[in-house]
Structure formats: C-alpha cells, structure tokens
C-alpha cells in the first residue's frame, strides 16, 4: 500500500520551499566564482567559504531526496537496518561542526555502549538534524552565551529514551502546547514554515512507532524522544 495522497502533497509543499532557494543560492555561488575568475582573484579564504556553501546546499538537496524516497516508497518494503545510535549522533554533530564552531557551541553525547536497534537510519538522522537546527536557531535568535546541547540516551526492556537538552532559555507554555502543530512557527513568516518539528513527530510516529515531547529544563528546553524496542533486535 502506498502512502496517502495527503502526505505526498505535504512533502511536495516542503520540497518546493526548499528547492527554489537552493537553486538561487547555487546560482549566486556560481556567479561569485565566475566573477573571481574574471578578476583574476585567488582568495583561498573566500574560496573556502564558497565551498562550505556548496557542501551545505548539497546536504540539503540530499535531505530532500531522502524524504522523497520516504514518501514514494511502498510501505510494505522494509527499509530498516541496524542503527548504531552513538555513530549516528556523531555523524549529525559532524555535519554541524563548522556552524558549532562559529557559535562557540559545545555538545555532549551520553549513550549506553554499543546501543543499537533496527530502524530507518536515514530518517532518524533527519529527525536529529531538524532538532539540532531548531536549537541553533534559538541560540542565534536569543544571542545565548556559551550555547550547549546535551544528548542523553537511556533504555529499558521496552523502550529507548533519547533526551536533547539545551540552554536556550526555554519556551512559554503556549508555545510548548503548539510546537508540533503543522502550521505553527516561532519565527517570522519569511524565516520558517512551521513544518520542521511537525515532521519530526510525524516521522517518529509513522516509522518508529515512537513519539516526542518537550518541556522546560533548567535554563532551556528538553526534547524527549521515545522509541519502543519491543520486537526489535537490540544489544
């Protein structure tokens, strides 16, 4: 059975919103590169910045392809694989290395040794990328001094619990109540669509039989992801 048309339409909206600015960014990068060549300029630092932009847009384009595969696939097809949680989280943080350095952001990952389970690693990686990106936006918007993200994973016989904490100042009660709604965003209309955390919750429920919740924690917010382990191969 294929996924319902409503999900396809939702993805089409998101993909369009991402593809257009990516195309524009790549066009600007190409123009800058050509202009530097015409002027005979060989600025290594400037070239490194252009390369960074290209890497970022490539990653975003790849993310769109990942989601497209998710919405196009037959739901009877098993795309699960062995997920090594620590390895997956390290990959997510590595993708953000440069932006972390620019923000002076520190992070820690605390997971049980060799924790693994079956699931769609590509989609789980996108879930954590979305969470990290939203947290970075909060740090920037609030000009947080010494920003920090802590990820703590625990498990029992039934479930895996992954907590993502930050020190971005927390959220109001009204924001928490609406945070995972499809049309809700704390950003200006020109900066966000409100789809990010809505999609995180949707993917967790549909692909992992899991869920996500959020509450204020000390100086920031605490996102808690719960994924059932019953019937999954874990060690």
Long-range contacts of 104-108 (CB under 8 A, 24+ apart): 104/146, 104/147, 105/136, 105/139, 105/147, 105/148, 105/149, 106/146, 106/147, 106/148, 106/149, 107/148, 107/149, 107/150, 107/151, 108/148, 108/149, 108/150, 108/151
Measured between alpha carbons, how far is 179 from 184 in angstroms, rounded to an integer? 6
Domains of the chain, residue spans = 5-72, 81-228
pLDDT of residue 97: 87
Predicted confidence (pLDDT) per residue in 177-228, tens digit: 999 987 776 654 334 444 589 889 988 998 899 999 999 988 999 999 999 9
pLDDT of residue 191: 45
Residue 165: which residues within 8 A CB-CB, separation 6 or more?
Answer: 149, 150, 151, 152, 217, 218, 220, 221, 222, 223
DSSP 3-state of 166? strand
Q: What pLDDT tens digit does each residue of the chain (235 aa) get?
A: 334 445 555 566 666 666 777 878 888 888 888 888 888 888 888 888 888 788 778 767 766 766 666 556 554 555 677 899 999 999 999 888 888 998 999 999 999 878 888 888 888 988 999 899 999 999 999 999 999 999 999 999 899 999 999 999 999 999 999 999 877 766 543 344 445 898 899 889 988 999 999 999 889 999 999 999 864 444 4
* CATH domain 81-228 topology: Heat Shock Protein 90 (3.30.565)
Measured between alpha carbons, how far is 104 from 144 in angstroms, rounded to an integer? 10
């Amino acid at each position: 059975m294929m996924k319902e048309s409503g999900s396809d339409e939702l993805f089409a909206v998101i993909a369009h919103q991402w593809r257009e600015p990516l195309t524009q960014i790549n066009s600007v990068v190409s123009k800058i590169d050509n202009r530097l060549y015409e002027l005979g300029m060989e600025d290594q630092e400037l070239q490194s910045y252009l390369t960074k932009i290209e890497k970022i847009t490539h990653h975003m384009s790849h993310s769109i392809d990942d989601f497209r595969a998710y919405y196009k696939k037959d739901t009877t097809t098993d795309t699960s694989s062995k997920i090594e949680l620590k390895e997956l989280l390290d990959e997510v943080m590595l993708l953000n290395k440069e932006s972390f350095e620019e923000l002076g952001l520190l992070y820690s990952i605390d997971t049980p040794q060799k924790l693994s389970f079956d699931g769609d690693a590509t989609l789980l990686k996108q879930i954590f990328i979305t969470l990290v990106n939203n947290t970075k936006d909060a740090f920037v918007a609030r000009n947080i001094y010494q920003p920090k993200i802590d990820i703590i994973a625990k498990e029992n016989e039934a479930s895996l619990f992954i907590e993502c904490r930050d020190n971005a100042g927390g959220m109001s009660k009204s924001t928490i109540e609406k945070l995972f709604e499809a049309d809700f965003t704390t950003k200006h209309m020109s900066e966000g669509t409100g789809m990010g955390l809505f999609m995180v919750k949707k993917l967790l429920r549909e692909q992992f039989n899991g869920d996500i919740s959020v509450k204020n924690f000390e100086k920031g917010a605490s996102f808690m992801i719960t994924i059932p382990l019953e019937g999954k191969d874990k060690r």
